[in-house]
Amino acid sequence: MQIKITPQTLSGCVPAPVSKSAAHRLLICAALGDRPCAIRCSGTNADIEATVACLSALGADIRREVDLLLVTPISAGSTSKGAALDCGESGSTLRFLLPVVCALGADCTLIGHGRLPSRPLSPLYEELVAHGAILSENGKMPLTVGGKLDAGVFTIDGGVSSQFISGLLFALPLLQAPAEIAVTGKLESARYIDLTLEALAAFGIVPERTENGWKFDGTERYRSPETLSVEGDWSNAAFWLVAGALPGEKISPLTVTGLRADSLQGDKTIVPLLKQFGAKVEQNGEAYTVTSAPMQGTLIDAADIPDLVPILSVAAAFASGETVIRNIARLRIKESDRVATVLFLLGAFGVSAFADENTLTILGGGSDGGLPAISAPTLSSFNDHRIAMAAAIFASAAVGDAENDALVIETAEAVRKSYPDFYERYRSLGGIAEEV
């Protein structure tokens, strides 16, 4: 699918989509629980549906009734054998469920698409094998799973992926024996671990915090509450919040509703970062309103907020002076090589930028350098949902000319991964997004 974006200021009010990070976690806990649980989840996306499909293949019964997901858990001792678990392109689904199926002793096959088969599973893979799992060759899919996980100490490098740790946190209570996670090195994306611990606590599981990880005593059991709600997603709300900060023909505020101020999502850092750039941000309960103001380049540490880098790069392009984003190395193993694709994105609007192994530097425009202009007629999303959305927000505030008065985003359907109604919401804010 191709979407043609014509520059037009975005303004108005839009609800935050549901958090897929929260939905994954609550669905997994509910499927491992002791009784049915209703999860209020007003929306969905391809990644959430992948987790639903995999849990259903394992034996859970998950049905949607309007805004509710009704989860009847996997019956004890009756996990489906020989099931095929299609993780789609969802790294969270694969990395969360691999340790779980090993702990359940579920002989199954994990399938992935897009770049998912090439995304790393080490050192999680080696730790699972060392504790009794029988896995087919690392780095190749389909990945077959056999054996049953033994308890013990699971040692994981904290700098590779927090999803490995989350997967073990979900799995180890199922062993019903003392087990421990020992994290080595610096723990990055720690807020995602906090989200996992929050979900586990809602189901009665609170592991003991140790000096370098977490410990289970073997008595833990998943105890399901009757109802839970999936909170709004700060990661995707960030696209609208940045849109409100961008210059336009008139100063028009943009409001996003349904965002918890006390959320454990790390990407709520978008609010102080926008203030750091110079944008005007106001809060009223769970509503956040952003109004454009002159922005200045700044210094950003992306270690705990890698998913914000594409849209932060858009903000940097409209800020005067230099923005430096550090700790970007892990962006190379996302849905695309996001270091390369962000550079392509910036180049499509004539913005100078360069990167080394771990730092991205953007030379913004703003009041000193003028506004970025559409300098390429088309841009591929590289099948990356965050690149597609960032490109649409970028084009809304860019300058068009007689030669390039609009930008056509190729493989624009990539947004289905996390935000299937993104373009509908874009149009509701006055944006011009036409399918061509």
391 with 345: CB under 8 angstroms?
yes
Is 307 an annotated catalytic residue? yes
Catalytic-labelled residue, pool 233, 267, 307, 384: 307
The Cα 217–Cα 268 span in angstroms is: 33
Nearest to 94 by CA among 24, 192, 193, 196: 24
Residues 6+ apart with CB under 8 A from 128: 98, 99, 102, 135, 149
Residues 6+ apart with CB under 8 A from 374: 7, 348, 349, 395, 398, 399, 400, 401, 404, 405, 406, 407
Q: Which residue type sits at 250?
A: K
Nearest to 334 by CA among 363, 379, 362, 302: 302
Please give the full DSSP string across 406-424, using - where no structure is assigned. Answer: SEEEETGGGGGGT-TTHHH
Task: List the structure tokens of 41.
Answer: 């989840």
Question: CB-side exposure of 4: number of CA atoms within 13 Å?
Answer: 9
366 with 294: CB under 8 angstroms?
yes
The Cα 274–Cα 305 span in angstroms is: 14
Residue labelled with tokens 């689904």: 93
List the catalytic residues: 307
